[in-house]
Amino acid sequence: MVYILQSPSGGNSSDRFIPRRANVDFDFSYYLINKSRERPTTNPFKRPEPSSFVNTAKYFYNLNQYRSALRKSMVPDTDRVLTFSSPKRDKTEEWRKDPDNTSSWPVRPRTRPLLDTPSIILDMPDLDTNMWHHVVDWGKKGYIGTIYEGEVHLWHPEEKLTRHITETGERVCSCIKWNRDGTHLAMALTFSAICIWDCIKNKMADVIACRCRSAKCRQVTAFEWTINNCLLTGCSAGRLTSYSRDFVCIKSFYMAHASHIVNIKASCHGNYIVTSGQDHSVRIWKWPEFIEYFEIEISILRSPIKSVDWHPWRDTLLAIGGPRYTTLWNVGTQKQVKIKPHPHSRSLLDALSFNPLSGELVVSYYSHCYGSRGVHFLTVLKDLDVIVDEAQYHFGRVPYLLWDAQGTKLATASADENLCIWDFFGSADVERKYLRPSTKQFSSNTMKSLNLFNCCIR
Ligand SMILES: [Zn+2]
């Protein structure tokens, strides 16, 4: 019961013993199998307009499920008939080209798409979405901090109350960062000053100034807190500085980058620091010695790096998101592990971040190939070229991907002035099932078992 489409060229394949799959209308065949009298007026798999939430990965997943169910109902015993498919490529040839035929990093990927519509959507009026700024951050105590009219405001998803915490004379500008405990907030102030705000006592803990004495230093542009809550700062003049827990300057590198430092990130075990700047360079530093280790050559990118992130439990693995390519590096061997172009044509990468529990890489792409207005893709990867989940929701570019303390909720802040919170592993029931470790995987090796829970000793 297979409906054969007439070939537009006038040729007819119905005399062939084996129907050509290319001419089979599976939708109509499905209709015949189910003995429906009328052809469905709407295709259940029609791709919806991107005017609302769309899970594109779920669309393709459902389509594959449907095809597989249809194939089973049409050809119940596939062992007894010839299978029709394009000739299989020689896998060994592929392996030679790309020897790592599984994921390039340790990951526990989802087996089916889990992203649904955001559970919370917040309006963020006048959100600064300059790609080089850091005006939103989510702390370990659950507070999302953001800069509005020169002061920091906090919001807690459970308390659902906005708090205006700082009184700096509207001097807070374009960069904030919670410490590892979510108790203190580092804020860049005007005139290259740095304010540390104690959110427990709700008062200013310290004010320090960037050590630059040049007019080139306009403000601090990047912060990072190490695992011991020591502060690292980078400024618009390219100076990189480390401070003790008491905010005493320990070490400072003038011209660590030739210009504006965009990102500073410490690796999961704290042995490495990565910095990227608008001078198109990415540098790796050893910590706590705080000495330059090596510079990553990214000549192919020829543009500043917007986003970098370390793997959540493999200390040496670093993902670098460039404008056209994403690369994965092993900083231990100083070698590039993988490089891949973005999956959507004419797309820009605005942010990337590993999920702390599963190790899946979440990437924010903005593609210009879908009409005059671009389309945003929130994509979950298990490898640089394998999409396991993907959603469209925002209308604007999304430079912020932030995790809650548990790593189960993802916040995205967009140029459409919305901050969305996503249940990254689906609804509560699905999340519980997904995060439950398999008993078969337990090992007598304690370290291996810890990894099953995605724990790491930091
Ligand atoms: Zn400076």
Structural domains of the chain, count: 2
Q: What is the DSSP string of 264-308?
A: EEE-TTSSEEEEEETTS-EEEEETTTTEEEEEE--TTT-S---EE
Kindly state the average pLDDT of the residues 210-228. 90
Q: Which residue has the tokens 């104690």?
A: 198
Residue 66 CA to residue 85 CA, distance in Å, equals 17
Question: Of 242, 270, 299, which closes a domain?
Answer: 299
Q: Is residue 27 part of a domain?
A: no
Distance 232 CA to ligand 1 centre (A): 12
Residue 419 CA to residue 400 CA, distance in Å, equals 9
Here the tokens at position 352 are 């990337």
Amino acid at 435: L
Claim to verify: residue 276 and residue 324 sit in the same structural domain: no
Question: Of 251, 277, 299, which closes a domain?
Answer: 299
74-83, 162-171, 268-277, 311-320: which has the minimum mean pLDDT?
74-83
Amino acid at 115: L
Which pLDDT band holds residue 223 (cuts at 50, 70, 90)? very high
pLDDT in tens, 291-321: 999 998 766 556 788 899 999 999 999 999 9
pLDDT in tens, 370-426: 666 788 999 999 999 999 999 999 989 999 999 999 999 999 999 999 999 999 999
Percentage of the chain lying above the pLDDT 90 cut: 52
Handedness of CA 28, 32, 35, 38 (dihedral sign): positive
For 80-96, the three-class secondary structure string (H helix, E strand, C coil) is: HCCCCCCCCCCHHHHHH
Distance 195 CA to ligand 1 centre (A): 14
Distance 181 CA to ligand 1 centre (A): 26
Distance 332 CA to ligand 1 centre (A): 30
Check pLDDT > 90 for residue 430: no
**How confident is the model at residue 231, as a pLDDT?**
97
Distance 234 CA to ligand 1 centre (A): 7
Residue 202 or residue 221, greater confidence = 221
Which pLDDT band holds residue 4 (cuts at 50, 70, 90)? very low
- Domain span including residue 148: 134-299
Strands 400-403 and 409-413: antiparallel
Q: Where are the beta strands (DSSP E) in 115-244?
A: 120-123, 136-138, 144-148, 151-155, 162-164, 172-178, 184-189, 193-198, 203-209, 220-225, 231-235, 240-243
Distance 186 CA to ligand 1 centre (A): 15
For 388-421, the three-class secondary structure string (H helix, E strand, C coil) is: EEEEECCCCCCCEEEECCCCCEEEEECCCCEEEE
Distance 126 CA to ligand 1 centre (A): 27
Distance 184 CA to ligand 1 centre (A): 22
Here the tokens at position 128 are 């600064």
Distance 166 CA to ligand 1 centre (A): 23
Distance 212 CA to ligand 1 centre (A): 4
Pair 282, 320: CB distance under 8 Å: yes
pLDDT in tens, 324-376: 889 999 999 999 999 999 988 888 899 999 999 999 999 999 988 766 678 89
Distance 439 CA to ligand 1 centre (A): 52
Q: Is residue 92 part of a domain?
A: no
Claim to verify: residue 170 and residue 265 sit in the same structural domain: yes
Residue 267 CA to residue 98 CA, distance in Å, equals 27
Claim to verify: residue 145 and residue 291 sit in the same structural domain: yes
Claim to verify: residue 153 and residue 247 sit in the same structural domain: yes
Claim to verify: residue 127 and residue 142 sit in the same structural domain: no
Q: Is residue 371 part of a domain?
A: yes
Q: Is residue 38 part of a domain?
A: no
Pair 120, 421: CB distance under 8 Å: yes
Distance 106 CA to ligand 1 centre (A): 38
Distance 307 CA to ligand 1 centre (A): 21
Distance 241 CA to ligand 1 centre (A): 9
3-state helix, strand, coil in the chain (%, to 5): 15, 35, 50
